[in-house]
């Protein structure tokens, strides 16, 4: 991320230079992989920690068999629905709180209270309401990611440049139009920041909900492989899901910087 770019930019240009720089930059991950491999082959044994090469092979096998893809798509579907709902709800609530005193007064304390709840504690409640499965996972993801989006949107929308709002008012723009054309666009960067903070939480809460209250999805798959003693598969699925989470965060950060390039 930021500091990585700094290292890259100090290197002389040219493809070879860039490749070397990237190699040097990511070499520590290679070192850790070699240590892992050695640790598992010579010290602890493959039962406790399969060698990293074995994990990669197993992960590829699992992918080719295809069963894991079903679980992965269930998990990603849950995240997509839960996160979309919290983006829509969070942006509406955040802007509503920034614009209308009554909305702010009503939700302020409620948000402070929900903010203080470590979100995985909501899993049992969601089970009471929706039983075991997708509904529970989606609900917990929604509740778990709502707060950062509301807080960021609220902060962004309350600090919209007063001059912009006055100008729009003076030009005779209606309240609704002003919200859509002035306040919302000025709040985009804050909304993106909120979503950026929400994404890692959505994965944490997803895995938690799936481990405790689901018969499908990556969290459930990891836990049941562990309980059955299929540790090779367990490590492979964790590896796959880590890559997916890492890639998602990376793609979103790229998206954010390209969308907000004008900032």
Partner 1 sequence: MGMSVNLPGDEFSMPGLAYLKSVYSVVLLVVVWEVVAQLGLVYYAFLPPFSDVLVRLVSLSLSGELVFHAFVTLRRAFAGLLLAIAVGTLVGLLMGRSRSARWFFEPLVNFGYPIPKISLIPVFILWFGIGDLAKVLLVATDCVFPIVVNTYRGAESVDEKLVWSAEMMGSSRRRRFRRVILPAALPDVLTGIQIALPISLIVTFVFEMISGGVGLGSLEIQGVREFEPTIVFATLIAIMVIGLVLDRALRVLRGRLLGWE
Site for partner 1 in 22-51 (CB under 8 A): 24-29, 31-32, 48
Report 198-217 residues binding partner 1 (CB under 8 A). 200, 203-204, 206-208, 211-212
Residue in 203, 193, 206 with CA at minimum distance from that of residue 94: 193
Contacts of 129 (CB under 8 A, 6+ apart): 136, 139
In the complex, the smallest distance separating the C-beta of residue 196 from partner 1, rounded to whole angstroms, is: 6
Q: Does 261 bind partner 1 (CB under 8 A)?
A: no
Report 62-101 residues binding partner 1 (CB under 8 A). none
The single residue among 90, 148, 182, 216 that binds partner 1, judged by CB under 8 A, is 148
CB 164 within 8 A of CB 186: yes
From first CA to last CA, the distance across the chain in angstroms is 18
In the complex, the smallest distance separating the C-beta of residue 162 from partner 1, rounded to whole angstroms, is: 19
Tokens of 169: 């008012």
The single residue among 86, 187, 191, 241 that binds partner 1, judged by CB under 8 A, is 241
> Where does this chain touch partner 1 (CB under 8 A) — which range of 58-66, 84-92, 176-184, 218-226?
218-226
- 136: how many CB neighbours lie within 10 A of its CB? 25
The single residue among 53, 100, 250, 254 that binds partner 1, judged by CB under 8 A, is 250
């Amino acid at each position: 991320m930021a500091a990585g770019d700094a290292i890259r930019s100090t290197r002389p240009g040219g493809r070879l230079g860039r490749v070397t720089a990237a190699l040097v930059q990511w070499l520590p991950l290679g070192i850790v992989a070699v240590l892992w491999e050695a640790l598992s082959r010579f010290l602890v044994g493959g039962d406790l920690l399969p060698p990293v090469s074995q994990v990669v092979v197993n992960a590829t096998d699992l992918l080719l068999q295809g069963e894991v893809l079903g679980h992965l798509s269930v998990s990603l579907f849950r995240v997509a629905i839960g996160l979309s709902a919290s983006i829509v709800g969070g942006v509406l609530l955040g802007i509503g709180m920034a614009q209308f005193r009554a909305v702010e007064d009503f939700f302020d304390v409620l948000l402070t209270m929900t903010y203080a709840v470590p979100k995985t504690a909501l899993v049992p409640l969601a089970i009471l309401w929706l039983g075991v499965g997708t509904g529970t996972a989606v609900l917990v993801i929604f509740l778990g990611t709502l707060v950062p989006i509301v807080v960021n949107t609220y902060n962004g929308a309350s600090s919209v440049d007063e001059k912009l709002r006055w100008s729009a008012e003076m030009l005779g723009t209606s309240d609704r139009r002003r919200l859509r054309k002035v306040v919302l666009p000025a709040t985009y960067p804050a909304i993106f920041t909120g979503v950026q903070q929400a994404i890692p939480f959505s994965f944490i809460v997803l895995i938690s909900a799936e481990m405790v209250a689901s018969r499908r999805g990556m969290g459930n798959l990891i836990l049941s492989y562990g309980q059955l003693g299929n540790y090779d598969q367990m490590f492979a699925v964790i590896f796959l899901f880590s890559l997916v989470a890492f890639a998602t965060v990376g793609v979103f950060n790229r998206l954010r910087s390209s969308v907000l390039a004008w900032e």
